[in-house]
Amino acid sequence: MAKQYDVVVIGAGPAGYHAAIRAAQNGFKTAVIDGFIGAEGKPALGGTCLNVGCIPSKALLESSEQYHKAQHDLAAHGILIDQVGLDVPAMIERKAKVVKGLTGGIAQLFKANKIEWLQGHGKLLGSGEVEFAPIKGKAEVVKAKHIILATGSKPIEIDAAPLDGERIVDSTGALEFQDVPKRLGVIGAGVIGLEMGSVWSRLGAKVVLLEAQDSFLAPVDAQCSRDAYRQFTKQGLDIRLGARVTSVNAGKNLSVHYEDKDGKQSVQVDKLIVAVGRRPQTDGLAADEANLLIDERGFVHVDEQCRTNIPGVYAVGDVVRGPMLAHKGMEEGIMVADLIADKYGHVNYDSVPWVIYTHPEIAWVGKTEQALKAAGVPYKAGSFSFAANGRALAMDQSGGLVKVIAHAETDRLLGVHIVGPMASELIAEAVVTMEFGGSAEDLGRIIHAHPTLSESVHEAALSVHKQAIHKAN
Ligand code: FAD
Ligand code: AMP
């Protein structure tokens, strides 16, 4: 007889495992199908994010920042180190340990919540039915009242630069270099390209980023992206905008050919990272008879509450519309698991924070100034520079700014944009304020500890009404 569950989730990335844990908390008999093969060739939970995405990239960003600091920044603190060495395999090994700890932690959580992990491939057959093909053995049909698709995304590959797994790699390969390439090319100066480029640049590679678009970080508030661009180029990142890669010749060197406003160009590198975006993972996800609706961009079609066109089948995370961010998928997973338990569930897509974990970090929530201008929304903006923040100066991290944008009539927060130290953490306050419908005045009236970086958020909010204290408004 077919195995029977209340909830079957396909995919154990952040969206899927959050859905599964909340479903189990809600009293549902839950199974998760996932066939990801992680480090050491063993199945691992956590999907892209834990195995080859958010976590390993942050581990390497941290290590490379420490190395860079030891080499360049400690002398200013009066700390003199004779020689700073680099052991890349040890760095990669530390990253693998962090990943292993976290993926193992999800396995423990599954046990604690009595969630069954079915290791293999899942395919939707239709309402209430999934085919489960184990990594080894025969496929079987499992039944579930509710099915949640959470199969995530994959790196986009381009014909101009076919991956060879050695010298031309995607973001996964870029997390595994065993030594520092002398010259590194990165195609795409988006979030992943900038993070990976930063890691290897801090470790000593000469990095060139080739970005097809004319503007730098188009989704970021223009004032912040300008500031970040200035800081990145000062660090030595060679960011070439309006540069569309057309082909790569793999000889002794890699010759990367691209076109920009001046015509055909090329650059020689030793390794090349292709970071041109990600696409939803729907290959083999549903049988044709299931008639799962996929939209024109390849995402599983869902409504506001992540219902697909098939009764009892939901989809969450990178495989559906919206930003490809782990926390967006997590919240969708929780929403769906609560909705099927007849509880309240919602995701406020207007207050999803974004973070780029470079140096400086870039974080934002809500609308950019350019988007508000284009939409004709009346607004007021205030900003505050970290150069006037005591804690930032004490940390030697005084680059960047906080910008707060509020509605000109209601003063309600419309967007907060940060470039600078710990922007990833500072943005949380802005998200909370926006979620509660708070105003710039609210943020300006909240007590912020002194001296902290968060005082810059406070001052930027005060600056909306030209009342910042440490600034000539
Ligand atoms: P995934 O994490 O992609 O998980 C999907 C899982 O489903 C995988 O395990 C896959 O093997 C499995 N699967 C797919 N099809 C099937 C099938 N048919 N049967 C069984 N299993 C299947 N986001 C952030 O928010 N912050 C960051 O700092 C960040 N950094 C990143 C850095 C890098 C280098 C990369 C590549 C991504 C980063 N992201 C970051 C994006 C983040 O990883 C994704 O948004 C997130 O992983 C999406 O979660 P998900 O659960 O939808 O899918
Ligand atoms: P993201 O979507 O943040 O991962 O960024 C991917 C970036 O890659 C986008 O900014 C694209 O403009 C860029 N891109 C895509 N194709 C090419 C190409 N052939 N050459 C250079 N940049 C590209």
Both 248 and 232 in a single domain? yes
Q: Of these residues, 121, 450, 458, 470, which one is catalytic?
A: 450
Mean predicted confidence (pLDDT) in 16-22: 99
- Residue 1 in this model has a pLDDT that exceeds 90: no
Both 36 and 148 in a single domain? yes
Last residue of a domain, one of 276, 298, 324: 276
The number of angstroms, rounded, from the C-alpha of 125 to the middle of its chain's C-alpha atoms is 31
Backbone angles phi, psi at 29, to 5 degrees: -75, 115
Backbone angles phi, psi at 178, to 5 degrees: -100, -10
Mean predicted confidence (pLDDT) in 189-216: 98
Return the DSSP state at 414: E
**Quick check: is 471 in a domain?**
no
**Quick check: is 21 in a domain?**
yes
Nearest to 144 by CA among 303, 21, 22, 314: 314
420 vs 272: CA distance, rounded Å: 28
For residue range 393-445, list pLDDT tens digits in order.
Answer: 999 999 999 999 999 999 999 999 999 999 999 999 999 999 999 999 999 99
**Quick check: is 183 in a domain?**
yes
CATH code of the domain covering residue 33: 3.50.50.60
- Residue 473 in this model has a pLDDT that exceeds 90: no
Mean predicted confidence (pLDDT) in 77-85: 95
Overall domain count for the chain: 3
Both 225 and 307 in a single domain? no
> Residue whose CA is closest, atom 16 of ligand 2?
276
Q: Which helix (H) or strand (E) holds 7?
A: strand 3-10
**pTM above the 0.85 mark?**
yes
**Quick check: is 59 in a domain?**
yes
pLDDT at residue 266, as a whole number: 98
Both 57 and 109 in a single domain? yes
Ligand 1 within 6 A of 121 CB?
yes
Mean predicted confidence (pLDDT) in 356-370: 98
Helical packing angle, 455-463 and 423-435, nearest 10°? 50
Both 359 and 439 in a single domain? yes
> Which residues are registered as beta bridge partners of 362?
356, 419
pLDDT at residue 428, as a whole number: 98
For residue range 101-122, list pLDDT tens digits in order.
Answer: 999 999 999 999 999 999 999 9
- CA torsion through residues 41, 45, 47, 51, sign: negative
CATH code of the domain covering residue 395: 3.30.390.30
pLDDT at residue 378, as a whole number: 98
Both 270 and 296 in a single domain? no
Last residue of a domain, one of 347, 381, 396: 347
**Quick check: is 160 in a domain?**
no
Point out the ligand 1 atom lying closest to the alpha carbon of residue 323. 45
- The Cβ-side half-sphere exposure at 137, using a 13 Å CA radius, reads 11
Work out the mean pLDDT of the chain and round it to a whole number: 97
With the most atoms of ligand 1 within 8 angstroms of its CB, the residue from 151, 282, 306, 358 to mutate is 151
Last residue of a domain, one of 300, 315, 347: 347
pLDDT at residue 40, as a whole number: 84
> Which structural domain range is residue 317 located in?
3-154+279-347
Portion of the chain with pLDDT greater than 90, in percent: 99
Both 7 and 126 in a single domain? yes
Taking the alpha carbons at both ends of the chain, their separation in whole angstroms is 73
Both 62 and 12 in a single domain? yes
**Quick check: is 215 in a domain?**
yes
Which band of pLDDT confidence, cut at 50, 70 and 90, is reported for residue 351?
A: very high
For residue range 247-298, list pLDDT tens digits in order.
Answer: 999 999 999 999 999 999 999 999 999 999 999 999 999 999 999 999 999 9
Ligand 2 within 6 A of 160 CB?
yes
- Residue 167 in this model has a pLDDT that exceeds 90: yes
Both 31 and 137 in a single domain? yes
Nearest to 365 by CA among 318, 453, 460, 432: 432
Both 8 and 109 in a single domain? yes
Ligand 2 within 6 A of 158 CB?
yes
Looking at this protein, which amino acid is placed at residue 187?
Answer: I
For residue range 221-253, list pLDDT tens digits in order.
Answer: 999 999 999 999 999 999 999 999 999 999 999
Both 202 and 256 in a single domain? yes
Both 119 and 195 in a single domain? no
**Quick check: is 423 in a domain?**
yes
**Quick check: is 193 in a domain?**
yes
Cα of 153 from ligand 2 centre, angstroms: 16
Other CB atoms closer than 10 Å to residue 398's CB: what's the count? 17
pLDDT at residue 399, as a whole number: 97
Site of tokens 């590194």:
184
Ligand 1 within 6 A of 413 CB?
no
Q: How far is CA 164 from CA 29, 80, 246, in A?
A: 43, 42, 17
With the most atoms of ligand 2 within 8 angstroms of its CB, the residue from 192, 264, 276, 325 to mutate is 276
